[in-house]
Structure 1
Amino acid sequence: MAHKHVVMFSSGAGSWAAARRVVEQHGNENLYLVFSDVKGDNPSPHAGEDKDNYRFLRQAAWDLGGQLVWLTEGRDIWQVFRDDRFLGNTRLANCSKFLKQRPAREWLEAHCDPDETTVYVGIDWSEAHRLPAIERSYQPYKAVAPLCEPPYLDKEDILEQLRERGIKPPRLYDMGFAHANCGGFCVRSGQAQFKNLLKVMPERYAYHEQQEQALRNYLGKDVAILRDRRGGTTKPMTLTDFRQRVESEQINVDPYDIGGCGCFVEEENAA
């Protein structure tokens, strides 16, 4: 049986760079690019990935060769939050669990023999401390992070490589987002990313603001994605509260408070 090389393909630049290294080392004959879509059947342009990510996904997969495996659980993140009666946040992202981790794991177990399969994730050398947890979570499959190995690349290096191969990177990078996934909206994001989303995509911010309030009404609980830590105490801060404070310049946002994706890189995620 031929050894399979399975890349967890996020539609961002990092997973493409990881897959490119796999192709350079092993070819693409037994390459599988597994993409788990979080849009479900939601017709809104603000749900799921940014529209340009879907363009990039197809173009990047064509560049790499192999087989693009497109998985869809059927729900979007807000449907998951409602069904699970829990609003995802920086500490626990149940949207990742149900829409990315489980579909990818189920596909992996249905189609791949652990003894004949290597799984690849797109973290880089700056996140190498996460690798032991990743390796544990994918057992009995072997998990590898190609970008944690030399030559070491930063985001600009990767974007330049894309351009050299005639691939336009996802537009979200040019719009100031450190991560191009989930349309610039991720419950793991920090305040700086939410501020940027409000600035460059106010309609998308408004969509998620409305969805958060609808979920609060449904649950009857004071829950929110963000946290207000003023005065030495921590309490929920809704997207409405955050927007109003930004607009009235009543909040100082740390420009380095980006937060980040991690749908396939935490210990519980692959299981």
Structure 2
Amino acid sequence: MKHIVCYSGGHSSALVALEVAHRFGTKHLVLLNHDMHFSVEHADIKRFKRDVAEHLGVPLTFASRRNATQDQFDVCVESDAFKVNNGQEICTARLKTEPFMEWLASNASQDDSTIYYGFDATEPSRIQRRIGIMGTLGWKTDYPRIWEERKYENTEALGIPRPCTYSVFKHGNCIGCLKAGWQHWYIVYCTRPDIWLKAMWAEDEIGHAIHWDGDKPVYLEDMEPRFAAMKAAGIPATERIPHQRFWAQARRIIPISDMQIRISLPCDCHEPS
């Protein structure tokens, strides 16, 4: 049996790799990763991926887009859209889903492979959705973070610190994640002006906004003066503050009471459309 871990570089996916290795060994273990461009995937996430793989004695296996120079904005501009017809973000489709499915078709058999995901007990709807999608395609899936018997709760116990990005972000997503909410993008505005400017370039090139408030587009350019006021007022650039409290602070500074504030979610790294 080939045990294929969807190894994103986030802490949960690392725990999945450790649990699968503990239960089944490492002989047929695959740590399948999409290596994102260094400008949007923090160097410490890349370090973390390597450290866990070296601890297990298993090489990283990459299923990446052939053009490794492109980030999420490049592939969207190339496709002249942020989303495909079913509402899935182009970056997920081009950078992750398509290489993932190509790798499975060439390197795995549905008869003797199981694909492991890092969803936990707080995400039952995502688990059921993934079971349905992958099952329809003929693939078996499993979710070690909901196993009753688990050995690992963190990587620090092994001497492997999780990525430093967790001090600010909740997930190991790309910086400038197209699925993320405004709290994530406030951090981008404050800490990564290069990514903020590239995202503005992408919106201008495509002629559409990344974010929408209902059926109304909200461009990054529209949010810039609001974020500037928040930064000047000392609103912390972090996702570690619960979003309700974060936006309660922000509303004292800027007029956003009429906006629907989207919550940032972890990226579905291997989700077929």
**Do Structure 1 and Structure 2 share a fold, with TM-score over 0.5?**
yes
Sort the Cα spacing of 1:31 and 1:251 in 2 relative to 1 into closer, same or farther, 3 A.
farther
Aligned-residue offset at 1:215 = 2.5
Is the Cα contact below 8 Å between 2:188 and 2:195 reproduced in 1?
no
Q: Counterpart of 2:194 in 1: which secondary structure? A: helix
2:75 is matched with 80
| CA distance in 2: counterparts of 1:129 and 1:140, whole angstroms | 20
1:142 is matched with 140
Residue type of the partner of 2:166?
Y
Q: Counterpart of 1:173 in 2: which secondary structure? A: helix
Is the Cα contact below 8 Å between 1:114 and 1:141 reproduced in 2?
yes
| CA distance in 2: counterparts of 1:218 and 1:235, whole angstroms | 19
| CA distance in 2: counterparts of 1:152 and 1:67, whole angstroms | 23
Is the Cα contact below 8 Å between 1:7 and 1:119 reproduced in 2?
yes
Percent of aligned pairs with the same residue? 24
| CA distance in 2: counterparts of 1:196 and 1:210, whole angstroms | 13
Counterparts in 2 of 1:163-178, with a 5 A limit? 163-174=156-167, 176-178=168-170
| CA distance in 2: counterparts of 1:241 and 1:152, whole angstroms | 47
| CA distance in 2: counterparts of 1:152 and 1:128, whole angstroms | 18
Q: CA RMSD in A?
A: 2.5
Counterparts in 2 of 1:202-241, with a 5 A limit? 204=192, 206-219=193-206, 221=207, 223-228=208-213, 234-241=215-222
For residues 24-68 of structure 1, give each alpha carbon's deviation from its aligned partner in whole angstroms, at most 9, with x where no partner exists. Answer: 1101111000001232xxxxx5x3311111111100111233331
Gaps in structure 1 of 5+ consecutive residues? 40-44
Sort the Cα spacing of 1:52 and 1:196 in 2 relative to 1 into closer, same or farther, 3 A.
same
Residue type of the partner of 1:216?
E
Q: Which one of 20, 23, 26 corresponds to residue 24 of structure 2? A: 26
State the TM-score, normalizing by the size of structure 1: 0.80
| CA distance in 2: counterparts of 1:8 and 1:37, whole angstroms | 12
1:270 is matched with 272
Sort the Cα spacing of 1:235 and 1:151 in 2 relative to 1 into closer, same or farther, 3 A.
farther
1:42 is matched with none
Aligned-residue offset at 1:209 = 2.6
Q: Counterpart of 1:52 in 2: which secondary structure? A: helix
| CA distance in 1: counterparts of 2:262 and 2:213, whole angstroms | 14
Sort the Cα spacing of 1:251 and 1:22 in 2 relative to 1 into closer, same or farther, 3 A.
farther
Aligned-residue offset at 1:69 = 0.3
Is the Cα contact below 8 Å between 1:125 and 1:149 reproduced in 2?
no
- Mapped pair 1:190 → 2:181: yes
| CA distance in 1: counterparts of 2:88 and 2:10, whole angstroms | 22
1:130 is matched with 126
Residue type of the partner of 1:64?
L
Residue type of the partner of 2:51?
Q
Aligned-residue offset at 1:245 = 0.7
State the TM-score, normalizing by the size of structure 2: 0.79
Sort the Cα spacing of 1:150 and 1:239 in 2 relative to 1 into closer, same or farther, 3 A.
farther
Aligned-residue offset at 1:151 = 5.3
